[in-house]
Structure 1
Amino acid sequence: MKKIIFLVFTLIFIACDKDERIDSSLKIQFSHTIDETEIFSCCSEINPDSLIYTNEAGQAFNILTLKYIISNLKIYDTNNKEHLLKDIHYVDASETENTSVTFNDLDIKNYNKLSFTFGLNQIENIDNQYLNENWHSSMFWPNNSITTQPGGYHYMKLEGFFDNISQSYRCHTGPTFGGDYSFELELPIEFDANQNEKHQITLKMNILNWFKTPNNYVLTSNGIMDNPTAQESLKENGLNNVFSIQE
C-alpha cells in the first residue's frame, strides 16, 4: 500500500513538473525606428533617390541596408538566474522572417531583465566559424594579414546614401584590426511566465541614435572597417540609448 501511495505521489510530482513548462512562451520582435517612426520592411520600401531622414550633424540620409548579429541572448529571473534563449540571432531588417523569434517551454518564473551582446565577442568571432549559417556570406569580415584584419564577422551593416544620391555611406562595424568593438547590454523587462500564457516584448533599435550621444557621428563616403576611432564611437553610442524594450 505504501508503495502504491508513493508511486501515485511520484506521478503527480512528475506531472506537475511537466506542466510547469507547457505552453509558456516568449516572442521577441525586433523593431527598427527613426525616433518613434517605425521603418516597416526597412530597406525594400525605401526609394534610393529620397533622403528622408536627418541626423544630429544635419546630414540628410536614407537607409537601404540594415543587417546585424546579436549573440548570447538571455533573460533573467528575479533570483538573477540567467536563462539562455539563443546563442546567435541574425537580423536582416528587410526580411520579416528573421525580425522575430519565439521561445517555447519557458520555466514558469518571474523575469525582470534581458541581456545580449551586439555582434560577436572576441572569443566567438572566429574566421569561417559559421560557414553553415545562411548569413555567413553576408556578414563575413575580411581576413588580410597585410592589413592585419583578422577575419570573422561583421556586427552590423548599415548602408544608404547621404547629402545627395551620389554619396553612399557604409557603417560596417566589426573587429577592426583584431579589436573587440562588440558590446553587452542589459535592459529591464517585466513578465510572469505562467502556464498557457504567451508573452511578447519588442526590442527597439532607434537607428538615429547610432549617430549621436555621446558622439556626434558624421557620415562619410569612406568605409570605417579600418577606422578604430569610428568603431569605438559607434560602440559608445550603441551602449547609450540605441536599444530599448517595449512590452
Structure 2
Amino acid sequence: MSVPILDSSAWREYRGRPASLGANGTAHLAKIADGTGKLRDCFVKLLPLTYPSLLGEAIGWLLARASGLTCVPFAAIVIVPLSQLRQSTTLPLELNGIDYCPAWCCEVVAGKSLRQIHTWAFWLARRQCLHSKDARQIASFDVWTDLRDRNYGNVIRSANGGYIAIDHETILHDLLWPRTGKVFHSRSLLSEARKHLSYGDFRRFQVDMANAASKHAPGFNSVRTDIADIVTKIYPHLSATLTTEVLKTLDERAQAGWLANTLGVIA
C-alpha cells in the first residue's frame, strides 16, 4: 500500500481549474496515468520540496486508509512537466526556470466540499457533517496526526452521503519540521463541534473521537514500513533522523488512552 511515485510521462493532460481552488495557486485538474497505464481524473497540486507539504500528504493518505477513514481510491506523487503545464495555465513566479516539480495528485470523487454548498443551506450541511460518524473519525485522526488546517473546503460530501477528508499537507508540521516562517491558524472539526453543538452533543462528539482512536495503533503498525520508505524517498538526506521522529511521534500518540486523556474524556 505504499505511495506510488510516477514520472513525468504520467501527467497526460490539463483539464482546468477546480471549482474550489484553495490556497495553492498551482492546483489543477489533470489526466494522470497510474502504474498500470489507466487514465484517472485527478486533482493535482505542485508541492516543491522546500516545504514539507508533500510528505504530509503522503503520510496522511497512508494513515487514513490504514486506520479506517473513507479515502480517495487513488493517490500518488507525480513529477509534473512544467513546460507542458505552462501551455495551459500561469504558474507562480517562484517556479520560473524550473522544468519539473513534484506534485500530489488524488483521484476526483463524486461530491462537493462543504464550502461549495450554497450559503443558505450551509448551516444544515455543517450540522449534518458534525453529527456524522465520519466527522468524529476525521477529527480523531486530525488530533492524532497534529493536522492543523481541517476546514470545510477539504471535507467532501460524497455522492452516497458520507464524508471524505482530503488535504493532509499540515500533518506533523509543527511537531517535526524546522520553523519555516509559515504559520497555520489552527482550524479543526473539533473546534467547529465545540462552537456549534450543544454541550451534550459535543461531549458525545469527543467520546466518539476517543473511541475511533482504537484504530490508530493497528493502522499505523500496518503502514510503518511504508511511511519509513516514503520519508527516505522524499528526503534521503534527512531520513536518518526524520524517519525516527515521525515513527516515534505517531506511535506515542496512537497508544491506548492518549487521545482520551488529551480530550479529557472517558472512552
TMscore range, shorter length: under 0.3
- The structure that has the greater radius of gyration is 1
* TM-score, normalised with respect to structure 2: 0.23
**Bigger share in helix:** 2
Whose strand fraction is larger, Structure 1's or Structure 2's? 1
Q: Which has the higher contact order (CA 8 A, sep 6+)?
A: 1
TM-score relative to the length of structure 1? 0.24
